[in-house]
Structure 1
């Protein structure tokens, strides 16, 4: 395991309990909690600082630092809303990209260096327009200017970005739940766990055979999600095989896997549950830049990477590389219908308010 990935693993291990490290970090955690509270209070006292989009806005985010499975939920929501007649647009911070002062928008195949790996993946898989900027209001405005057909906004991440008004909140956690329940750096949470009382949906992303965390005290509609391999795409040729076909063709040989996501072991566990006996499993830090190929030391047999990593690995033209595309399986599939109904109601309300507003 690479040093940054090892350090991250050690930290997450420490955050599972209220041990010595966590206790020593408590004073700093109190400072973070106070800063979070002040920030929220500032927006409550000055609501005019919040940008409210005329379109319904759904935010997909988390409390736990690192990867919990937000992006698959964002993709699933965008695809489901499009199937129900919407024209969704997605905004993101564009983590890891050199965005610049102005928001940037695009659709289809996007350069991850300019948009970020997750926005590039979302654009590729949903074919929905995407806009990126740390200031989410600027991203929304750019998206609406460049793609006027958009009628619903999905924010990938941004639960803590209070400057953007939102109408629907979806929190995603994984089997770690809220960890030791403490805020950074004494624990893994960006803000107190009580924040989950105010979200609309709480989705717990579980690996195969993994039991869920302790129940959360929240009126949110709560459900679980598991990711399963749906297909594998050969990066050099674009050949796509459904997972069963890929297993029949390549699954009996030696296969390696490489992942640079928040929880790489979750990817490896999914592949093993999907029928593979991995010869090598290489974990890299989340959002790894892939400045040079990390595959040269691996044997000459198929190498599976996540779809998020694949958008940055195309340029290597390595014939061994296949990207694995996943499908989420929800314990409560009707949650998307409920979200759709809520967004429809919100859209009607916003339209009515706009029509009644005085005109100059």
Structure 2
């Protein structure tokens, strides 16, 4: 990740041929679906894809939660589909409920379910997840959490979330850079959401932290301005640590784990037990069974301008 988001060293150009190969594969995939050489699946319900063109940590999940809450306020019945990255189930499609764990469905679907209680279906084939959701659940619109590059599923609206700080790194495709698709792909999407920065032709999204909650679910209050430990297993951990600093916490020790890391109780022995431990909401869903009393998580809510709400809702009405 550091290599992708800093100046390219001379040895990095050895990866350039592999990026060209990746670009070729990407173009061929898009061509065969666009020309219907491989048939894509059309769902009877409107499908909104929320994704990105770069790897990891763009703020997509808070936006999906915001979008679902907006739709519910307007009288819609949204459902969510996800690949379930980091999870492995014996059966697909997998309908998330109170008994489904992050090891089965992935941490993000479980986190969103705990927050919203909406129908969420996980399947590596998002087209299969969408078919199951529309057939078996009382929904009237489908939100695809990620899946911009999953062309096997037709979509009505494409929304891309961009990291306002890191943007697109060195601007190269994987593995030389963080891009999943060329920057020209942005010209084809319906909306570009910029996480945290003002940028021309992009909708600015701000992330607002809420009050800290106990990982074990107990009702308690963590005082501000206290000294804490912190951990994060997300695409861009430093953003979480920076948020804690802005909340006036003093971080004694901060440890970043790999994105979607599957925590075990032994991972936390490296923290001083007498200090509160703060983690992300996404990480907390993986730690509820062995959480200590002084483990906390910080919920994050997305905030977007009113004019964008109107634009998006008008677009949905046109589709329906």
Match of 2:207 among 220, 227, 248: 227
Whole-Å separation in 2 of the counterparts to 1:85 and 1:240: 33
Task: Give the equivalent residue in structure 1 for 2:143.
Answer: 154
Task: Give the equivalent residue in structure 2 for 1:124.
Answer: 114
Whole-Å separation in 1 of the counterparts to 2:22 and 2:128: 27
2:20 match: secondary structure = helix
Whole-Å separation in 1 of the counterparts to 2:90 and 2:13: 39
Whole-Å separation in 2 of the counterparts to 1:326 and 1:236: 18
Normalised by the length of structure 2, the TM-score is 0.94
* Cα deviation 1:180-216 (Å, max 9, x = unaligned): 211111111001110000111111113xxxx56xx57
Task: Give the equivalent residue in structure 1 for 2:177.
Answer: 187
State whether residues 256 and 303 of structure 1, in contact with CA within 8 Å, keep that contact through their aligned partners in structure 2. Answer: yes
Confirm whether residue 99 of structure 1 aligns to residue 89 of structure 2.
yes
Q: Compared with structure 1, are the counterparts of its residues 108 and 152 closer, same or farther at alpha carbon in structure 2 (3 Å cutoff)?
A: farther
1:204 match: secondary structure = strand
Match of 2:261 among 288, 296, 303: 288
Q: How far is the alpha carbon of 1:48 from its aligned partner?
A: 6.4
State whether residues 61 and 108 of structure 2, in contact with CA within 8 Å, keep that contact through their aligned partners in structure 1. Answer: yes
Confirm whether residue 84 of structure 1 aligns to residue 74 of structure 2.
yes
Task: Give the equivalent residue in structure 2 for 1:268.
Answer: 241
Q: Point out the structure with the larger helix share.
A: 1
Q: Which runs of no fewer than 5 residues in structure 1 stay unpaired? A: 1-7, 348-360
State whether residues 97 and 115 of structure 1, in contact with CA within 8 Å, keep that contact through their aligned partners in structure 2. Answer: yes
Task: Give the equivalent residue in structure 2 for 1:341.
Answer: 314
Normalised by the length of structure 1, the TM-score is 0.84
Whole-Å separation in 1 of the counterparts to 2:182 and 2:55: 12
RMSD of aligned Cα (Å): 1.8
Structure 1, 295-304 or 49-58: larger mean CA deviation: 295-304
Task: Give the equivalent residue in structure 2 for 1:170.
Answer: 159
State whether residues 4 and 176 of structure 2, in contact with CA within 8 Å, keep that contact through their aligned partners in structure 1. Answer: no
Confirm whether residue 30 of structure 1 aligns to residue 20 of structure 2.
yes
Aligned length: 318
Q: How far is the alpha carbon of 1:318 from its aligned partner?
A: 0.9
Task: Give the equivalent residue in structure 2 for 1:355.
Answer: none
